[in-house]
Chains A and B, each alone.
Chain A
Amino acid sequence: MSRLNILVVDDDPVTVILIQKKLVKEDYAVDTAEDGQQAVDKLTKRYYDVILTDLMMPGDIDGIGVLEAAKEWNIKTEVILITAFASIENAIEAMKKGAVDYLQKPINFDELLLRLEKIKNMKMLMKNATDLREAMDVTEQSSAGTIQVLELEVGKLQTLISDINELLLNDNLDAQSRIERVIEKIDT
């Protein structure tokens, strides 16, 4: 699988740069945004596997806003929220709205990398499943086509056979004309 695309969102440039550096070093593709608005602009233009966003940010859109926009835009994008204060309520609220995880500031990078690794594994499994399904769909569609043709063809032949049967047993005709009618029937 190719590298995970990650969008890091925080109004504190120092945090952003720090996270970016660490993640790039671990071979993740990283993009950044300095507030909620910019994050939403970006995530509607391209696909991110993971969005790592601060919960509290100035402006109209906070971390929950980013989370909602991301999920609305593409349900496959996973969102990790970063909170300055550990607040159970916030965490529960975020998880309810579809966040995969939340981290507390200051960020423990080992923990972050571990969680990203988990997401990556999960995405890989999902991709496997999707590939299998696609392969199954192709097989299914092609065999469905064949079966349809056969089914209709057999249906026609069955009708033909019962028609022929009827002709052959028709007492009002002599043998010669029965055979003539049958040949006619088969030709049409």
Chain B
Amino acid sequence: MLKIKPDEITLFSNYIHKLTGISIDQSKAYLLETRFGRLLQETDSTTYADLYHKARMEPGKHLEKKIIDAITTNETLFFRDTGPFDLLRHKIIPELIDSRIAKANGTRPSLKIWSAACSTGQEVYSIAIVLKELLAKGNYNIKLLGTDISDAAVTQASYGDYNKFEIERGLPKDKLIKYFSSSGSRWKVSDELRSMATFRKINLLTPFTNLGKWDIVFCRNVAIYFTLEDRQKLFSQIAQVLEPDGYLIIGSTESLTGVCPSFVPKRHLRTIFYTKR
């Protein structure tokens, strides 16, 4: 594999930070080498600097998208950490539904859930399964949005199509059979679940425009790649789009201490969630 030079690391790390917020320091040579090996070949680039300049010069930004796809870590699974999904089922949704029914006075109550870095969609479909099993169809206005910065991830999420390694992870067999159908070695989400969700490409570090307000925001395992400053920016933006009585769920090893004073941590059973101060 072609070795990356220190000044090329700097070049890429600044570029990637500007594109995605992902923070890469000088020690991550191996990461850049493994992630960009294929792109070098595909683009006939002789050096990493060469690849960088091609990406910067290209008007269509195809290469830039590929760089984003390559550098993002899309690691995810169905019902990741299980706790947040039990929390949804037993606490958050029942409570929100009660309050939204009271507010709706007679009209269909609505519920808006946003998965803010949904990767290939497993988180969104896990939420959809919980909603499906909890709420009678047609009685509610449900809006379930999945967003990610990676085109490739959003496209796969939108297809709702998984290989056998992806489908095996975290999805109980009864749910697999109920909500997915197989063709060859691939599995596709049922139309029923698929129709509950929409997907879009959103960079969480650009201003949220036309995003509306949300009752529940999942923002898990994405801020871990950001600097403290970018985390602060991200979570204060999220505070602004969360309803006053809304809920925020972050990754199980993440913390908002020193990141965002707008949120208070609370615990339900084994899971921490956040509400607005």
- What is the interface of chain A, defined by CB distance below 8 A to chain B? 75, 95-98, 126, 140-141, 143-144, 147-148, 150-152, 154-155
Contact = CB atoms under 8 A, between A and B. Distances in A.
A41 to B, nearest CB: 21
Contact of B185 (A98, A140, A151): A98
A140 B252 contact: yes
Contacts of A141: 252
Contacts of B252: 140-141, 144, 147
Given A98-B185, A148-B270, A152-B265, 15 more contacts: A75-B167, A96-B184, A97-B184, A98-B164, A140-B252, A140-B253, A141-B252, A143-B253, A144-B81, A147-B252, A148-B272, A150-B255, A151-B257, A152-B267, A154-B257
A98 B185 CA distance: 5
B265 A147 contact: no
B184 A148 contact: no
A75 B257 contact: no
A23 B255 CA distance: 54
Interface residues of B, number: 20
Contacts of B255: 147, 150-151
Instruction: Name A's interface SS.
Output: helix
A96 to B, nearest CB: 4
Contacts of A98: 164, 182, 184-185
B256 interface: yes
Contacts of B164: 75, 98
B228 interface: no
Contact of B257 (A95, A126, A140, A150): A150
13 contacts: A75-B167, A96-B184, A97-B184, A98-B184, A98-B185, A126-B165, A144-B252, A147-B252, A150-B255, A151-B256, A152-B265, A155-B264, A155-B265
Interface of B: 81, 164-165, 167-168, 182-185, 252-257, 264-265, 267, 270, 272
Nearest to B264: A155
A81 B165 CA distance: 22
Contacts of A155: 257, 264-265
A110 to B, nearest CB: 26
Contacts of B253: 140, 143-144, 147
